[in-house]
Amino acid sequence: MTHVLLADTTAGTVRGCALPDGSTLFAGIPFAAPPVGDLRFRPPQPPEPWRGVRRADRFAPAPAQGASTLMPEASQKSSFPTFPTAEIKETSEDCLHLNVWTPGTPSDGGPRPVIVWIYGGGFEAGSAAPPYSDGAALARQTGAVVVTANYRLGALGFLHLADLGNQWAGSTNQAMQDQVAALRWVGDNIGAFGGDPGNVTVAGQSAGAFSIGALLAAPAAAGLFHKAILQSGSTSRIIDRGTASAMAEDLITALGLDDAEGLLTVPVERILDAQSTVVTGDIGHRNLPGGRTWGAVLDGSVLPRDPHRCVTEGAAIDIPLLLGTTRDEVRLFQMIGGDSFRPADEKALYDEMRRAGITEPEMLLDAYRQRVADPYDLSALRSVFLSDAAYRMPAVRLAGAQVAAGGRAYHYLLLDEPCGPAMGAFHGADLLHVFDKLSLVGADTPEHLTARDTLVSAWAAFAATGDPGWPVYDRDAAGNSRAVAGLSASVNRMVTEPPNDAATALWPTWSTRPARDARK
């Protein structure tokens, strides 16, 4: 195949580079002006056009980011394996660049489907470049043109200043606005790279998936994507305006500033150091109602309405959804947290369950005892509860709401254990499949490669046609979700999600489903 190394964009011509696998990379293309100086905490602005040909063969720095409160530095000294999302060497405030990968195999005579990848990282960490986001692997496995775009992180991306005076109008959800700007760039330019601007799938994991959940309700994003893949995320991770305003005021105080104007000139390193003081790091505290964390804000402008309510009312019926979770979402955080993750006693766990809306926590805890090996291990019990509360239950609620509104949603559950049974099907395990990195953890065996092929084949089919290859989700049906597992299970096996057991029956909105003994 002849490589097309030049592409014309609305800002100028770029020259990409041929990769050894036959694909083509265009790296470091600016899709917005540098958000620095007076543009810090402001909505993204159009990039400055250039004359001649701009080299696009080097990745731009990742967004400026501090130490993650969710994955503290101490955890890096543990015995956990290195994942493809583990290393970011170069960062900068001047980060609003994107990358485009075009597959090396000939297309079938028309423009290719497009996948726009939104990375995760707790809204505090991440990069659109390898090894954090390997668009080459995703393009190779799906046959789609893949775009990865940086967005601002932490306070730089999510500090809500819009309620601090008219001069800060629009200074809210900067990261969401970055994502919209990148999607708008795709619509305007992707045809020059062999992509179909009328067949754009936005995909993301964790914070990336929660971002997509918010984008479903963002007026500025309407019409910019046609399908969505949400892995370990939903419409549930939204910060209320009052909490967001309080976080902004607390950050200004932590920096010793008299007012928000000082945020424009304070060194970025000070912002990155101070931003951790206004959020909580514990996976439960930050994801349950009332938690303080970075993320999409229900600001009344960029995000004017609650995303889940919007979906329930039919706002996304024309956007097919592919939703997935891992069976053991919180196991990784349980293992990293150690003693700090374990509840002090059963009462502490009851209190946390009440925060999630559970009215009978004693009964729920007893029901969860049937899902764990040691029914008295409070750490394991908290892990299965939070896996449901933060990820699994919100995902199936979103799938059910989309279908009930008249749209299409498909669901899958990752059961594969690439790092062994101790870690289980943990949060982020799917990245080893999507980015074809199972060999990094010694899991490139027929068992795990079968799971990889099941997952990426579904993604490829969904990106191309909007149908991953199994029936639309039915919350009342047995076998309503595809199991992503290895050779030990049927490749096409369907499972029931959420499980039809006593624990599920105690969750709000699921209490009408008849429960059965979880041990059967």
Report yes or no on 56 lying in a domain: yes
**Please, what is the average pLDDT of the chain?**
92
Residue found by looking up tokens 């040691």 in the block: 374
Report yes or no on 371 lying in a domain: no
Q: How far apart are CA 331 and CA 195, in angstroms?
A: 38
For 411-440, what is the mean pLDDT? 96
Number of domains in the chain: 1
Determine phi and psi for 485, rounding to 5 degrees. -140, 180
> How confident is the model over 151-177, as pLDDT tens digits?
999 999 999 999 999 999 999 999 999
Report yes or no on 196 lying in a domain: yes
Residue found by looking up tokens 């309510």 in the block: 309
> How confident is the model over 348-397, as pLDDT tens digits?
999 999 999 999 999 999 999 999 999 999 999 999 999 999 999 999 99
H/E run at residue 7: strand 6-9
CB atoms within 10 A of CB 447: 17
Q: Are 400 and 412 in contact (CB under 8 A)?
A: no
Report yes or no on 116 lying in a domain: yes
CATH no. for residue 251?
A: 3.40.50.1820
Return the minimum-mean-pLDDT range out of 86-95, 254-263, 293-302.
Answer: 86-95
- Residue 185 three-state SS: helix
- Active site residue: 226, 308, 411, 427, which one? 427
Residue 48's closest CA among 90, 10, 93?
10
Report yes or no on 247 lying in a domain: yes
- Active site residue: 93, 329, 417, 497, which one? 329
Helix then strand then coil, in percent of the chain rounded to 5, is: 35, 15, 50
- Active site residue: 206, 232, 245, 481, which one? 206
Say what the pLDDT of residue 375 is. 96
Q: Decide if pLDDT at 108 tops 60.
A: no
490 or 324, greater pLDDT:
324
> How confident is the model over 1-17, as pLDDT tens digits?
455 689 999 999 999 99
Residue 234 known to be catalytic: no
> How confident is the model over 34-83, as pLDDT tens digits?
999 999 999 999 999 999 999 999 999 999 998 877 765 434 444 455 45
For 228-249, what is the mean pLDDT? 96
Q: How far apart are CA 196 and CA 204, in angstroms?
A: 19
Q: Give one DSSP letter per residue of 28-72, joined into a string.
A: EEESS----GGGTTS---PPPP-SSEEE-BSPPPEEP----SSS-
474 or 513, greater pLDDT:
474
Q: How far apart are CA 336 and CA 290, in angstroms?
A: 23
Range of the domain at 108: 6-69+83-319
Residue 261 known to be catalytic: no
Residue 73 known to be catalytic: no
Report yes or no on 483 lying in a domain: no
Report yes or no on 411 lying in a domain: no
Residue 451, C-beta contacts closer than 8 angstroms, at least 6 positions apart:
414, 415, 416, 418, 433, 484, 485, 486
Report yes or no on 499 lying in a domain: no
Local structure of residue 109 (DSSP, 8 states): S
87 or 424, greater pLDDT:
424
Q: What is the dihedral of CA 417, 419, 421, 426, to 10 degrees?
A: -60
